[in-house]
Structure 1
Amino acid sequence: MNKRKRPNWFLIIVLLIGVTNLSVIIIKQQSILNAQRAEMEELALKIEEERELNEKLLEERERVLSDEYIEAIARKELGLVKEGERVFVDINR
């Protein structure tokens, strides 16, 4: 009673379909992962640029709030002078 076992074609077909579907899913997931990785790198660069801009703006704020800057604007834009200073006006201009 040495019967040779025949291959179960239904099982083979189901396994092939399963492996094919699994391969398709893995490929799709990999492409999604690559796209998200690229987006993360782009966002990281944007974050770094925004940090640099923020740092420059904080430095500008410190400069604008300094007494020297306020005095320079008061003299230039408003024509103000310190007490005891003399103002000479060039009438040839």
Structure 2
Amino acid sequence: MNKRKKKSALGTFAVLGFLVYFAYTMVTQQSMINAKNKELASLQQKINSVKSENDELRKKKEMLDTDEYYEKVAREKLGMVKPGEKVFFDINK
């Protein structure tokens, strides 16, 4: 009977050791998964930011080839006016 108790204790110890190892592995894997999920969320946010910036730049690029853009630049940067147009300056600014 002494041998059975030793085998039973050894088996119980082996099962207990396996359960502890399994629990440790599960906890470390879950922490790694959580870290990767945070990284994924951060990268998704960066992707969305870059996509919106890309859309804005695409719109600006399309606007550069329009007559309205050339007129805006001529008026604001070069101070040009259309023939017969009167320009008023706000002296309070």
- Corresponding position of 1:29: 29
Sequence identity of aligned pairs in percent?
31
Deviations 1:18-60 (A, max 9, x none): 1101110000000000000111111111111111111111111
- Name segments (4+ residues, structure 1) moved above 2 Å: 5-8, 70-82
Query: Which has more radius of gyration?
Result: 1
The residue type paired with residue 51 of structure 1 is K
The residue type paired with residue 12 of structure 1 is T
The alignment's TM-score, normalised by the length of structure 1, stands at 0.68
Structure holding more helix per residue? 2
The alignment's TM-score, normalised by the length of structure 2, stands at 0.68
Q: Does 1:14 align with 2:14?
A: yes
- Distance across 2 between alignment mates of 1:75 and 1:15: 83
The residue type paired with residue 26 of structure 2 is I
- Corresponding position of 1:70: 70
Q: Which structure 1 residue ranges, 5 or more long, are not aligned?
A: 87-93
Q: Which structure 2 residue ranges, 5 or more long, are not aligned?
A: 85-93
